[in-house]
Structure 1
Amino acid sequence: MEIETPHGPGRVEIDEVTGPRFLLVLTHGSAGGVDAGDLLAVRDATTAIGGTVARVLQPFRMRGARAPGSAVKQDEAWEVLVAELRGRYPGLPLVQGGRSNGARVACRTAGAVGARAVVALAFPLHPPGKPERSRAAELRAAGVDVLVVNGDRDPFGVPDAADAARLVVLPGEGHDLGKDPARVGELVAGWLDATMRPQPPETGSG
């Protein structure tokens, strides 16, 4: 389905489950799409644990652009897309995430959309060869638990463990996380399964 935003329409592909535990909204990198191997692996593993998964093709990719342009406009469009999806699944806890540039968007907007957690795949810590231009502040700005999954051969760098609830660095993986996507899906589903369990009520001391 398509959802209109102030910056053009986005396209959403939804994989529903019966009696969903939560809604996971995923998106792509700058020049990629929602059929990236790691995103599909995360979808498959997440639906297996009871999560409904929505994969969002953002407006700039719908226009054929290979770069997102203004971060402000990208975030504005994303917030509209997620609000529409939340309205379709009222009461479901929200997790959002993506790969590369999509991970940045998910971190930047987590507070605005009311996400419970963020999944950041191949978070691009800095442009290749420019470690001084760190984007670690975007991870810290999420304000919720963030799972980061990166490869140890990623030219965009690897975030510090202190800036995420959990950091997993996969040996031999590059920025596309394409060597073993199923492993990426397993890691994400395992973390979400634990993170989204209902917390027991606190008992007072009386």
Structure 2
Amino acid sequence: MSLHTQQINFQVGSHGTVSGLVQSPADPVACYVFAHGAGAGMGHSFMSAVSAGLAARGVATLRYQFPSMEQGKKRPDPPPVAHAAVRAAVAQAVERFGPLPLFAGGKSFGGRMTSQAQALDPLPGVKGLVFVGFPLHPAGTPSTGRADHLADVHVPMLFVQGTRDELADLASIRGVVSKLGAPATLMEIAEADHAFHVLRRSGRNDEEVLAEILDGMAAWMRV
């Protein structure tokens, strides 16, 4: 498959310029604005693999750096800054992909910041959110307070969650999705942790898990 890749830069209000990477098949059916997690930037191997895998399935991606990551800081941006970055990235996607169905979300922290931005003020053009490991609570302390704002999200949501995710107790995330009702879909990845690694005893490997994730995400965004 022919794949177009473009390095971009864009301004995040008064918080500086950040870099991004657009990957698209020749004839995409949708675009996913893909934010990174708290500990690793858009160039992380998982981010790269998801982006390439979605492109192979017809979905373009626009991944980008949060300002703190762009500036080499160790601590993630506070929510208002992260929200501004999400909005700026979505605007870039709208500019580049026009009328295509547009989705937003991200890995862990990136997905949560995207959902907060959407809850505060709907992201223009975004028809759904996709969370790749929503960080429901700190490790070892199951709770659901981080999901309270999701009641104010009024577009479809897909939660891709490993059943061994230490940041999203399985019973808790099931409860959250059930409470959200029809707009929310939970895709459980058996035996996967927060990084979507699986134990050897599961009978599967990480490549098979990634293929399951990509197939599910692409199918959901094609509906």
Give the TM-score taking structure 1 as reference length: 0.83
Given candidates 53, 66, 71, the residue that maps to 1:45 is 53
- SS of the aligned residue for 1:16 comes to strand
CA RMSD of aligned residues (A): 2.2
Deviation at 1:8, TM superposition (A): 1.7
Match for residue 16 of structure 1? Answer: 24
Deviation at 1:24, TM superposition (A): 1.0
User: For 1:124 and 1:190, how far apart are their aligned partners in 2?
Assistant: 19
Given candidates 21, 27, 43, the residue that maps to 1:35 is 43
Higher RCO, 1 vs 2 (CA within 8 Å, ≥6 residues apart): 1
Percent identity of paired positions between Structure 1 and Structure 2: 26
Matches for 1:1-206 after TM superposition, within 5 Å: 1-6=8-13, 7-110=15-118, 111-132=122-143, 134-158=145-169, 159-160=173-174, 161-162=177-178, 163=180, 165-179=184-198, 180=206, 182-197=208-223
Unaligned runs of 5+ in 2: 1-7, 199-205
**Judging changes above 3 Å, is the alpha-carbon distance between structure 1 residues 114 and 194 closer, same or farther for their aligned structure 2 residues?**
same
Counterpart code for 2:163: D
Deviation at 1:43, TM superposition (A): 1.8
User: For 1:185 and 1:67, how far apart are their aligned partners in 2?
Assistant: 31
Counting matched residue pairs gives 197
CA contact (8 A) 2:18 2:70 kept: yes
- SS of the aligned residue for 2:160 comes to strand
Deviation at 1:191, TM superposition (A): 4.1
Give the TM-score taking structure 2 as reference length: 0.78
Identify, as 1 or 2, the structure richer in helix.
Answer: 2
**Judging changes above 3 Å, is the alpha-carbon distance between structure 1 residues 55 and 178 closer, same or farther for their aligned structure 2 residues?**
farther
